[in-house]
Chains A and B, each alone.
Chain A
């Protein structure tokens, strides 16, 4: 369960939903915070700029009254080494007249209406650059004035804010994911419970129901509906079984009478030989009809059925050998060799009679069709060809394969799937006796046990493989 969870955690629906909602949340939050940031910055910068503009206006008034020298005197007064005000005034040759900057900052375009630049304050750590915003002003006689403010504080405040927001988003995302996964895991556990129930129902246990939590939430609602659906299906299946039992009874009784009458008439001494022959043929036909009917009923019940208490533990290899042994004289009569390659095991849990019947059908098919038709139609080659039927039991990791391979004409690839269906008798086999249900009965037995049937090319011939799951004895 835990393994299953971790294997699917990154692809699970709850994880994807949690990740998606967190991504959406983060994107929106980042948008809002970004906008707030931009707004705050704008307002602050505008404030600084407007106070700078006011100072510039004041300085211009002083210039108008006392000339550049008065401005320079004032700037000298205002240029404290520590303090937010940044000033620089130089004459037309570029010689500094006053101010706390040593030179015109190269980053600042003196023709613009203002901008930011870095500078190194006179005091403090050497090499530590601070950010400032300034307005360049051109005065009379080519004098260049720069009035600015240190905004390093503002910037570091903004930086701190950004870090707080980033950290906050990180924590929020982690908490959101953890919460999402936690909730998802609870959800997954319940979905897995529903899945487990569905799997055992698909395996044929129609009495199984999905457990309810009792909380009355949507999942309980879903489970209740699914259970109601299962009740209905079980009811229908039972109905179907009842109908097939009734048909069996209602058709078999008249068939029985038919056979009885024919038998009674056969014993009547007044009958002529011609009558007797006719009656014998009638009984034979009735028996064929009964066989087909029984096979059909059996297939129908296997398909609706569950592998229940009628399973037993047995050595499959030995069982297959016994069935092969049973058919050996028949094969020999047809000039065929039954070659059995099987150990005693493996030990499996299955319905022994049904598996026996499936194996018998496989071998019987191989005997019936293993002798017919040489592929090239050359009768002289017939004596030369390999006349063996190979029966083998091979245990794989989780399955066991019972293969019966003949050297007959085989079944062409396009016909193989069709051959497993009911009543399908391929052209080549129409002349052979049989119900046309042999292979579909094998397929039904395989399905009941959770296995499959494969038809393969034996080059030449047919290799029919019955694959059963290795349900080892409990314990």
Chain B
């Protein structure tokens, strides 16, 4: 995936470039808003990472101009401002996701991967299948190996989100934001407890685990060894 990083802090930008390369992606850098805007308009990028505070042209204006010009490339906004209000402003300007500094690289990586896949027109999948685990989105029924699994509504939505992103790392914050729509620090490991409850229902009585913990990052639903 080709990524454009518009970030004025050189060290952060270079770190991102290096890390993205290590993860198998290509990354270009822009040091200010104007350069970033012209590169984004000209280049063929799969994803844009835009810092909110930029010299010459601020991040929100870059995104607004791009959207106004019909550029639909997914945008992840990075910001030192982390309040809900700032987040709302960022998304209103046309950003697809919003990440507050300082962030974990794993968090950023998980988010841009989720974003790039969202850009592919999502066919209305009515069933998610991972191994012998099947989630039917119409009847809201979950089976594993043909055996019905009874889930609470929250557990169902948690599993649905994990299976939608099957094979991808999903971070705790992504779960908090997308499953619960909470944008605050829950103070405790609430997400872990929810996931372990879900795990006890879908994995416990089966040989092969499907819901894996990715150390230092989050969780992943995948068929095959963790």
Footprint of B on A, CB under 8 Å? Answer: 245, 248-249, 252-253, 255-261, 263-264, 266-267, 280, 283, 286, 290-291, 294-295, 297-298, 301, 310, 322-323, 325-327, 329-330, 333, 351, 353-354, 356-357, 360-361, 364, 367-368, 434, 438
Which of B19, B185, B194 makes the CB contact (< 8 A) with A329? B194
Closest chain B residue, CB of each to CB of A357:
B184
Interchain CB contact under 8 A, B187 and A434: yes
In the complex, B126 has a CB within 8 A of chain A = no
Complex Cα distance, B15 from A256, in Å, reads 10
Q: Is the CB of B190 within 8 A of A329?
A: yes
In the assembled complex, the CB of A279 is this many whole angstroms from the nearest CB of chain B, namely 10
Asked if residues B184 and A252 are in contact (CB atoms below 8 Å), the reply is no
Residues 172-212 of B, flagged 1 when their CB comes within 8 A of A and 0 if not, give 00000000101111111110011001000000000000000
Given contacts A260-B12, A310-B84, A368-B188, 15 further A-B contacts (CB under 8 A): A245-B81, A253-B80, A255-B102, A257-B11, A257-B12, A257-B15, A263-B105, A291-B185, A326-B182, A327-B186, A329-B190, A353-B182, A353-B183, A354-B84, A360-B186
Contact between chains at A298 and B187 (CB < 8 Å): no
Whether A329 touches B12, Cβ cut-off 8 Å, given contacts A310-B85, A360-B184, is no
Complex contact B85–A330 (CB within 8 A):
no
Given contacts A256-B101, A329-B197, contact A438 B187 (CB under 8 A): yes
Q: Are B184 and A264 closer than 8 Å at their CB atoms?
A: no
In the complex formed, the residue of B with least CB distance to A354 is B84
Q: Contact check, B187 vs A360: say whether CB atoms are below 8 A apart.
A: yes
B106: chain A residues within 8 A (beta carbon)? 263
Query: Does B103 contact A256, Cβ atoms closer than 8 Å?
Result: yes
A252:B101 contact, CB within 8 angstroms: yes
Tell yes or no: B44 within 8 A of A by CB: no
CA distance A327 to B101 in the complex (A): 26
Tell me, yes or no, whether B147 is within 8 Å of chain A by CB.
Answer: no
Distance (whole angstroms) from the CB of A261 to the closest CB of chain B: 8
A253 near B185 with CB under 8 A, answer no
A327 in contact with B190 given A252-B101, A360-B184 (CB within 8 Å): yes
Cβ 8 A contact of A264, one of B15, B85, B100, B186: B15
When A and B form their complex, which 5 residue pairs have the shortest distance between CB atoms, in order from nearest? A256-B102, A357-B184, A353-B84, A249-B80, A252-B80
Cα A330 to Cα B189 with chains together (Å) = 8
**Would you call B154 and A356 a contact (CB within 8 A)?**
no
Q: What's the Cα separation between A259 and B180 when bound, in Å?
A: 27
Q: Enumerate chain B interface residues (CB-CB to A < 8 A).
A: 9, 11-12, 15, 18-19, 22, 53, 80-85, 88, 100-106, 154, 180, 182-190, 193-194, 197, 216
Residue in B15, B85, B102 with the greatest tally of chain A CB atoms within 10 Å: B102
Contact indicator B187/A294 (Cβ below 8 Å): no
Residue in A255, A280, A360 whose CB lies within 8 Å of B182: A360
Q: Please tell me if the beta carbons of A353 and B184 are within 8 angstroms of each other in the complex.
A: yes
Q: Within 8 Å CB of A259, what residues of B? A: 102-104
Contacts A257-B12, A260-B15 hold; do A298 and B83 have CB atoms under 8 A apart? yes
Partner among B53, B184, B193 whose Cβ is within 8 Å of the Cβ of A330: B193
The answer to whether A294 touches B82 (Cβ under 8 A) is yes
Q: What's the Cα separation between A286 and B185 when bound, in Å?
A: 15
Do residues A326 and B180 form an inter-chain contact, with CB atoms below 8 A?
yes
Q: What are 7 sample pairs from A and B whose C-beta atoms fall under 8 A apart?
A: A253-B101, A260-B15, A264-B105, A294-B82, A295-B185, A310-B85, A326-B180
In Å, the complex CA distance between A368 and B88 comes to 31
Q: Which residues of A contact B189 (CB under 8 A)?
A: 330
Which residues of B lie under 8 Å from residue A257 when comparing CB positions? 9, 11-12, 15
Compute how far the CA of A267 lies from the CA of B15 in the bound complex, rounded to whole angstroms.
13
Given contacts A264-B15, A361-B187, contact A325 B103 (CB under 8 A): no
Most buried by B among A257, A280, A368: A257
Q: Is the CB of A330 within 8 A of B15?
A: no
Measured between beta carbons, the chain B residues less than 8 angstroms from A261 are 15
Hey, which chain B residues are within 8 Å of A325, CB to CB? 154
Q: Do the beta carbons of A356 and B9 come within 8 Å of each other?
A: no
Could you say which residues of chain A place their CB within 8 Å of the CB of B101?
A: 252-253, 255-256
> Knowing A286-B102, A354-B84, A367-B188 touch, does A253 contact B12 (C-beta < 8 A)?
yes
Could you say which residues of chain A place their CB within 8 Å of the CB of B84? 310, 351, 353-354
